[in-house]
Homo-oligomer: A and B are copies of this chain.
Amino acid sequence: MIEIAVLGFGTVGSGVVELIDNNQEWIRRSVPEGIHVKYILDIRDFPNSPYADRVVHSIDVITEDPEVRIVCETMGGKEPAFTFSRKALENGKSVCTSNKELVEALGTELMLTAKQNGMSYLFEASVGGGIPILRPLRNSLVQEEITVIGGILNGTTNYILTKMEQEGAAFDDVLKIAQEKGYAERNPEADVEGYDCGRKIAILASLATGKKADYDEIPCEGITKIAASDFAYAKAIGRAVKLLGIARKLGDGSWSVRTAPFLVPDDHPLYPVSGVFNAVFVHGTMVDDLMFYGRGAGKNPTASAVVSDVVELAMHIGVPLRSAWNEEKLTLADSDLESHRFYIRAAAEQAEALEAAFGSGLEQIDLGGQEEDALTGTTAFVTGEISERTFAERLGSIEVQNVIRLL
């Protein structure tokens, strides 16, 4: 038996313990000696849990037990998760985690600690929930030059956008329903402002390039300004509104990394991805387009991804796995110079001003007689491909209701 410890007995942590117990038959196909959870670290006791006797309250019990070879950190947050993870690595235990906040902020340091101690630090569950994406990038696409990576990385906002599209409903109303259903947190800021998506695209960009992309430098827009009318205009040009985290290699070799709503065309594989599902799009120079689709959150899918790391670590006891990225920082492109086509929604009386400012490249969106009451008095345009800076200059002080980039 390979002994492991789980830090944090919340939703994901309890899922990990249960999955390892229930799916031992499948796990033994790859780890014939089996995997066993020896300790569960939590500040609480769980007297009614079948795992009550494994609960401990001190990390030292775990780090000082030489039998424990692998530690799963499913606590969330930076501290004490960081200190506990480092301590485990320093004491000869490999660590895996579902904690995207920690991986984004301090993953580089933990991978270095792992390397110095001949251990590994894995985090498949930190992006895309149950979708196998980090391991395929590490193990199946190493021969590829990746030039685009990203996609729908947050199930809460994709659920909200899908409902708004299907029901023509307002953001606030759908958010309330999502909160009632447990798809959105009571404080939804991290999701709806795009912060969660931003952390995940920082991790994916770092993996694709081998250099650390800093979350703090990534332009980040959420979905709070999206209105039902944006879906009507988007539909008229064969597109849907999706919140994307997307990293692209530009012509000069620099990388653009951004979190923002985009208008996605109906022939793009991300277009039909709806509800709480996530999907990661990858373009490699040889393999062309790929997409990995699945549940981006939830107890069992996330636990499955954590256990996939446990299994890989169990198969590589004593064999440190390559770090996902090194300490070098990824220099991001000047976002002002990036080019996009832009969608603009404005009050109808701004049409002339917009046409004067943007000139002949501007196309008005024709709703084809499908105008709904909600759209009365508004108009929408799509620009030609121009840089962010040119767009801002031409827009100047013209008052508009919303701006969304086209993918």
Contacts and interface: CB of A to CB of B under 8 A. Distances in A.
Interface of A: 15, 19-20, 23, 26-27, 29-30, 124, 130-132, 135-136, 139-145, 210, 269, 271-272, 277, 284-295, 298, 300-301, 303-305, 307-308, 310-312, 322
A98 to B, nearest CB: 14
Given A294-B287, A294-B290, A304 B143 contact: yes
A287 B300 contact: yes
B290 A303 contact: no
Contact of A294 (B130, B288, B305): B288
Q: State the number of copies, please.
A: 2
A139 B135 contact: yes
Given A289-B294, A303-B286, A312 B139 contact: yes
Contacts of A135: 136, 139-140
A153 to B, nearest CB: 16
A19 B288 CA distance: 13
Contacts of A131: 290
Most interface-central of A143, A144, A287, A290 (chain B CB within 10 A): A143
A286 B136 CA distance: 19
Most interface-central of A144, A286, A301 (chain B CB within 10 A): A286
Contacts of A23: 143-145, 285-286
A15 to B, nearest CB: 8
Given A30-B322, A288-B295, A136 B143 contact: no
Contacts of A30: 142, 322
A2 to B, nearest CB: 13
Contact of A145 (B26, B210, B269): B26
Contacts of A272: 269, 271-272
Most interface-central of A142, A271, A287, A298 (chain B CB within 10 A): A287
16 contacts: A20-B143, A23-B285, A23-B286, A26-B144, A130-B290, A135-B140, A139-B139, A140-B308, A141-B304, A142-B311, A143-B308, A286-B303, A289-B293, A291-B292, A291-B293, A292-B292
